[in-house]
Amino acid sequence: MKQKVTLKQIAKELDVSISTVSKALKDSVEISLDTRQKVKAFAKLYNYKPNNIALSLKNRKTKTIGVIIPEIVHHFFTTVIGGVEKVANEKGYNVIICSSNNSFDKEVINLEMLASGSADGFILSVAKETQQKKDYHHIEETMSQGMPVVLFDRIIDELVCDKVIIDDGKGAQTATNHLLSLGCKKIAILTTVDYISVGKLRTNGYLRALRAYDITAREDYILKIEDIDNCESEISDFLEDKDVDAIFAVNELFAVTAARVLNEQGKKVPDDVSIVGFTDGILSKHFIPSLTTISQHGEEMGVRAAKLLIDKLEGEEDIPEEYKTVIIDTSLIQRQSTKK
Amino acid sequence: MKQKVTLKQIAKELDVSISTVSKALKDSVEISLDTRQKVKAFAKLYNYKPNNIALSLKNRKTKTIGVIIPEIVHHFFTTVIGGVEKVANEKGYNVIICSSNNSFDKEVINLEMLASGSADGFILSVAKETQQKKDYHHIEETMSQGMPVVLFDRIIDELVCDKVIIDDGKGAQTATNHLLSLGCKKIAILTTVDYISVGKLRTNGYLRALRAYDITAREDYILKIEDIDNCESEISDFLEDKDVDAIFAVNELFAVTAARVLNEQGKKVPDDVSIVGFTDGILSKHFIPSLTTISQHGEEMGVRAAKLLIDKLEGEEDIPEEYKTVIIDTSLIQRQSTKK
DNA sequence: TAACCTTACGAAAACGTTTGCGTGTGGATA
DNA sequence: TATCCACACGCAAACGTTTTCGTAAGGTTA
């Protein structure tokens, strides 16, 4: 097993100093052409690659971006990561991904671990628990140590940093408007409990849309789902004997589950009930009927977040700090789950 | 902006040497109780965290596992990552994830980058292009430098290393058997071109199952799909006027697309045609009808792969190398797409 | 031939740790 | 009082780089 070759070893073999080797490999004019060629040939032969760790230590930067997301098995988040990777790789950055599993503790651990030398900055979407706890000391601390943080999707208003979000309210409004423009009058919403920020924002958008159409929102048309994993029974109970002609679901799962429930209750989508979802994932695309939905443009979010972060990382140290909040446009994708 | 505090700074403040601080923090008996307490209090106050990079350099290990997968936006791979993370975190390892995007070049770049100091070992599923090119020098080189590699799912037979796979052939056989036991006689298969190893293996399993039932396989019941992204037209043409009573699809996408096509052609699933898929992803679970499928137990694969890798990483240096191939059992999940 | 300039290279510090070993101080022992 | 031993701590090397600065050798100029 041939071990990794270092400058020192090359230097020894060639009977020159470490600095000579280092300079030769960088084509420094300080070193004679002769020596340069000799060193390079040798390095190539032994497949020399500079040790990243040593470089990081020396340069005090890792050229690595840390990404922390609530769930790794999640289509939207992976599309965001895709966008981050794209930009990062173009700019010569590596990406480390960690999942907090929606746990506050794991988020803290991951962040602290990456912050202690492994990454130069962070792109993060906070865990559900963190949103509940409203404890952001770990993020604040990271920033106060000079490491930039970009928040996306599930952001925290109180934190002063770059952010990339979609206009959840506007997206929801668009979705609801679409249903209204189709002539639907009795539009129910399947949403989350309020402490999930995006759920709340989307609910508000729905309410605004109704108001603009002079339709009074009905409490009994709003379902705030507690237990996402067992949403089917909640939705089923909710929809039982309810005379709605449209449903706006704040995520994909609620949308397809509603479709499934309606199906079981003998109602047709979109003929009897139209459905609009949120998030353009696998399910929306391939479901029968395919789902009209609001696309969040996950990849674009990732791209923008990575750019913001890298700008901060490569910007001048002491220019006055200035933080941006990028709002990505959502778009309505019309498919089969809403009647024409 | 308070910068990260180092041993040196603490030492200076407290007017002791760096080594004293280091030892005090480790509760060394060499240091007086008094000093120890003072140092620890100070360290806590300033939130001292040892610099991982420096530690990695010193210890010549990073306590990091590199995971390279062909696609990040892919349910199966993310479940595997979930399993890897679980084990890794338990054992104090960090996980770096990179996607090769199915490109050979990017796989090489990612591997080399992580191999030059960022990770101690690798868990990897090779890119499509790599399977075609049959060029594995980057993986061989990584191993020859003493970094263990565990291959999973899309493995390479020629490479001598730990592997975690499912028995694709057996899984396919189980799927086909299930259809046969339901009384289906005319079973088509939707598979991939042959260079995708898992596609080929699954096709073979399908053929074996038919043979065991004394049914002659028909060429015109086998569709090898080239362009996965546009599989719908291929499947649609294939199924046109074809009098099949069952379909075995080697992945989720083919399965739901087949269902969609059948739906458009006015055939009912499962009444007219039964469908069995492969991979238990989001789609299979939530589709209407939900899909009978072969579960690959992605998380379990990740768990096993991580364990194998960590065993190698923490094992004695010079025990005779011994490589294992773990075969994860698949299981048939019966849902609504196959009639009872 | 003395002064100077190039050329080509090496020494050493720095990044932040850990750790084996050396050492000064003070008290106990002989 | 000379010897010895704990005790408590510091020095320095090592991990692999990069880079500044110093310098020896040789050639050129006045």
Taking only the tens place, the pLDDT of each residue in B127-149 is 999 999 999 999 999 999 999 99
A240 and A309 co-located in one domain? no
Task: Decide if A98 touches B, using CB distance below 8 A.
Answer: yes
Residues sharing a CB contact under 8 Å with residue A90, sequence separation 6 or more, in sequence order? none
B239 and B162 co-located in one domain? no
Q: Are B119 and B64 in contact (CB under 8 A)?
A: yes
- Give the residue-averaged pLDDT of A186-193: 96
* Percentage of chain A lying above the pLDDT 90 cut: 89
Q: Kindly identify which residue of chain B lies nearest to residue A109, measuring between CA atoms.
A: B89
- Res. B321: pLDDT tops 80: no
Q: Give the span between the Cα atoms of B151 and B143, in whole angstroms.
A: 12
B contacts of A262 (beta carbons < 8 Å): none
Residue with tokens 């020596």: A35
Q: C20 C1' – A87 CA distance, angstroms?
A: 47
Q: D20 C1' – A234 CA distance, angstroms?
A: 70
- Res. B1: pLDDT tops 60: no
- Nearest by CB: B118 against A2, A47, A52: A52
Nucleotide nearest to A14 (CA to C1'): C9
A35 and A91 co-located in one domain? no
Q: Give the span between the Cα atoms of B146 and A2, in whole angstroms.
A: 8
Residue spans of alpha helices (H) in A33-167: 33-45, 52-59, 75-90, 104-113, 128-133, 137-144
Binned at pLDDT 50, 70 and 90, residue A320 comes out as low
- Res. B285: pLDDT tops 70: yes
Binned at pLDDT 50, 70 and 90, residue A318 comes out as low
Q: Give the span between the Cα atoms of A91 and A89, in whole angstroms.
A: 5
B7, B72, B110, best to mutate vs chain A, most A CBs in 10 Å: B72
B192 and B247 co-located in one domain? yes
- Res. A193: pLDDT tops 80: yes
Q: D26 C1' – A29 CA distance, angstroms?
A: 18
- Res. B318: pLDDT tops 80: no
- Which residue is closest to C15 in terms of CA–C1' distance? A58
- Res. A319: pLDDT tops 70: no
B128 and B195 co-located in one domain? no
Nucleotide nearest to A58 (CA to C1'): C15
Binned at pLDDT 50, 70 and 90, residue A317 comes out as low
B240 and B317 co-located in one domain? no
pLDDT tens, residue by residue, A236-292: 999 998 999 999 999 999 999 999 999 999 999 999 999 999 999 999 999 999 999
Identify whether B340 is part of a domain. Answer: no
The SS3 assignment for B191 reads strand
Q: Are A101 and A74 in contact (CB under 8 A)?
A: no
Could you tell me the sign of the dihedral formed by the alpha carbons of B187, B191, B194, B199, in that order? negative
Residues touching nucleic chain C (CB < 7 Å):
A 15-20, 30-32, 34-35, 54, 57-58, 60; B 4, 6-8, 18-19, 22-23, 25-26, 30, 48-51, 53-55, 57-58
Integer Rg of chain B from CA: 26
Q: C26 C1' – A286 CA distance, angstroms?
A: 83
- Nearest by CB: A263 against B57, B281, B288: B288
- Res. B317: pLDDT tops 70: no
Nearest residue to A136 (alpha-carbon basis) of A160, A101, A163: A160
Task: Decide if B97 touches A, using CB distance below 8 A.
Answer: yes
Identify whether A338 is part of a domain. Answer: no
Q: Are A76 and B57 in contact (CB under 8 A)?
A: no
DSSP string, B39-79: HHHHHHHTT----HHHHHHHHT---EEEEEES-SS-HHHHH
Task: Decide if A137 touches B, using CB distance below 8 A.
Answer: no
CATH number at residue A317: 3.40.50.2300
Instruction: Supply the pLDDT for residue A3.
Output: 76
At residue B218's C-alpha, the angle toward residues B215 and B220, to 5°, is: 155
- Which range of residues forms the domain containing residue B244? 168-296
Identify whether A339 is part of a domain. Answer: no
Instruction: Give chain A's mean pLDDT.
Output: 94
Identify whether B1 is part of a domain. Answer: no
- Evaluate if the CB of A58 falls below 7 Å from strand D: yes
A151 and A84 co-located in one domain? yes
The answer to whether A99 contacts B116, with C-beta atoms less than 8 Å apart, is: no
B contacts of A78 (beta carbons < 8 Å): 72-74, 78
Identify whether B307 is part of a domain. Answer: yes
Residue with tokens 């249903």: A179
Taking one residue from A and the other from B, the number of pairs with CB-CB distance under 8 angstroms is 146
B269 and B176 co-located in one domain? yes
Question: Which strand (E) or helix (H) includes residue B174?
Answer: helix B168-181
Q: Give the span between the Cα atoms of B251 and B238, in whole angstroms.
A: 17
Give the strand pairing for B292-295 and B331-333.
antiparallel
Task: Decide if A140 touches B, using CB distance below 8 A.
Answer: no
B138 and B187 co-located in one domain? no
Identify whether B212 is part of a domain. Answer: yes
B13 and B160 co-located in one domain? no
- Res. A1: pLDDT tops 60: no
- Give the residue-averaged pLDDT of A6-20: 95
The answer to whether B94 contacts A79, with C-beta atoms less than 8 Å apart, is: no
Backbone angles phi, psi at B322, to 5 degrees: -145, 125
Residues of A 224-263 whose CB lies less than 7 Å from any atom of strand D: none
Protein-contacted positions of strand C (CB under 7 Å): 7-12, 14-21
Q: How far apart are the first and last CA of chain B?
A: 67
Q: Give the span between the Cα atoms of B309 and B68, in whole angstroms.
A: 14
Give the strand pairing for A331-333 and A292-295.
antiparallel
Identify whether B83 is part of a domain. Answer: yes
Nearest residue to B217 (alpha-carbon basis) of B229, B208, B227, B228: B208
Identify whether B155 is part of a domain. Answer: yes
| B residues 263-292 closer than 8 Å to A (CB) | 263, 281-283, 286-288
- Res. B150: pLDDT tops 90: yes
- Evaluate if the CB of A52 falls below 7 Å from strand D: no
3-state helix, strand, coil in chain B (%, to 5): 50, 15, 35
> How many domains does chain A fold into?
3
Distances (CA, A) of B44 to A116, B13, B39, B248: 15, 14, 8, 61
- Res. B304: pLDDT tops 70: yes
pLDDT tens, residue by residue, B103-125: 999 999 999 989 999 999 999 99
Integer Rg of chain A from CA: 26
The answer to whether B95 contacts A95, with C-beta atoms less than 8 Å apart, is: no
B20 and B33 co-located in one domain? yes
Surface-to-core class of residue B188, CB atoms within 10 Å of its CB (0-12 exposed, 13-18 middle, 19+ buried): buried
- Give the residue-averaged pLDDT of B295-312: 97
- Give the residue-averaged pLDDT of A120-142: 95
- Give the residue-averaged pLDDT of B228-238: 92
A127 and A181 co-located in one domain? no
